[in-house]
Each structure stands twice: as C-alpha cells, then as structure tokens.
Amino acid sequence: MCARKKVITKLLELTYPFHDGFVAVIFMKYGYYGQVASKVPPGARILEVGSGTGRMLQTLCGRAYGVGLDISKKFLLIAKERLKRCPFDLVLGTATNLPFRSDAFDAVVTFTMVHHLTDKEKDEMLEEIKKVSKLYLFGELDKSWCWTVLLLRLIGGKSVMRKEKLEEHGFVVEEWRDMGGFCLVAGKARRT
C-alpha cells in the first residue's frame, strides 16, 4: 500500500467511532443507505467497494448477496461481526485492482468512498468496476462547496463524484439524485 493510502486508512481507523457512530447513524436516520440500496436489483450478486464496517451491506442484507472489499483489516473485522447473519464475503483489497473475473457481479456499489481517491485512482477504479459489472450504483459527496468536502480538501482529499468522469469511462448515467443534507448524490450508471 502506498504512503498516502496508509495515512488515510490510519486516519479513518482512528476516527472510526465518529464515522461508524455519529455519521453512519445520521445517514441511517435520513435513509441515505436505503436510497442507494433500493436501486440494487433484488437477488443481485453485488460487490461493495470500500465496504468499511459494513453499514451499507447491512442495509442490503436480505436483498442481495456477494462481496464487500475494503483496504482496512480493522474495518473488515468489525464488518465480519456485524454481518455474521448476512450472505456477504469480506475481502481485503484496493479499489484500483479488483481481484474478480469479468462480469462477476450484477452490480457494484460504492457509498461515501470515492472521495478518498485521487483523480488517477478514480480513473483506475472506474475501469475496474466496468470490468466486473455492467451496473454501478453509488452514493457520494457531490457539491464542491459543501462543508464536508471543504473539510476533506483541508486534509488532502480532492473531490467528489462527477457525471463527466463516469461518462469518460464509458458509463451512461441513468439517475442522478440529490440526497440533500450532507451534500450527497445517489446515482445509477450503466456500462455502454
């Protein structure tokens, strides 16, 4: 793992009670996980990239099955405990090199994960996603003026989901919906 990824992973692990407690509980309260989960076709085999402590997969338990992949061993262990009654395997790995065969999944999901990547890493991840699935569903920080994004910029994170970026990689954006509050968008993109 490169130095930048190590620092981000360490920071996320250190601030884990804030993400897994405060932020995730607010996301649940406002139904943000549900808004993305509702786009997943029932019975689908899915991959969540950046599955963290398993909050998104927990929302999908009973609707889909598949794999959660994350760069943090600590988060995977927490997710394993949280998801012990759910049909998901958990894999240590990175978004920019997905260890799966072509079209292995019906859908790939990311939720508040893309903002941890540099622009180059986003390009690499979108190529990997395109390889393993036709359908990409996401919930992500969007507007560059929003306080969460400004905070991220201060700690070296860059940005956010952009329609143009998806289109550059051969996805057609079928849905793009403002989720409000934390300046999140939910979306659905399909490989051409």
Ligand X SMILES: C[S@@+](CC[C@H](N)C(=O)[O-])C[C@H]1O[C@@H](n2cnc3c(N)ncnc32)[C@H](O)[C@@H]1O
Q: Considering only 38-46, 52-60, 80-88, 128-136, which stretch makes contact with ligand X by CB under 6 A?
A: 52-60
Q: d(Cα 146, Cα 161) in Å, to the nearest integer? A: 13
Candidate ranges 67-75, 100-108, 150-158, 164-172; the one touching ligand X (CB under 6 A): 67-75
The string over 57-77, giving b where at least 16 C-beta atoms fall within 10 Å of a residue's C-beta and e elsewhere, is bbbbbeebbbbbbbbbeebbe
Considering the complex, state which of residue 22 and residue 172 has its C-beta at the smaller distance from ligand X. 22
Rounded to whole angstroms, the Cα distance separating 160 from 183 reads: 10
**For the chain, how far is it from start to end, CA to CA, in angstroms?**
32
Q: State the minimum distance, in angstroms, from the CB of residue 29 to ligand X.
A: 14
Residue closer to ligand X (CB basis): 92 or 172: 92
The only residue of 51, 133, 148, 159 in contact with ligand X, by rule CB under 6 A = 51
Q: Judged by CB under 6 A, does residue 56 bind ligand X? A: yes
Q: How many residues bind ligand X (CB under 6 A)?
A: 23
Separation CA 137–CA 175 (nearest Å):
9
Rounded distance, CA 114 to CA 157, Å? 10
Decide: is 95 part of the binding site for ligand X (CB under 6 A).
yes
Place of tokens 């190590």: 6
Residues that bind ligand X (CB under 6 A): 5, 9, 12, 19, 24, 49-53, 55-56, 70-72, 75, 94-95, 111-113, 116-117
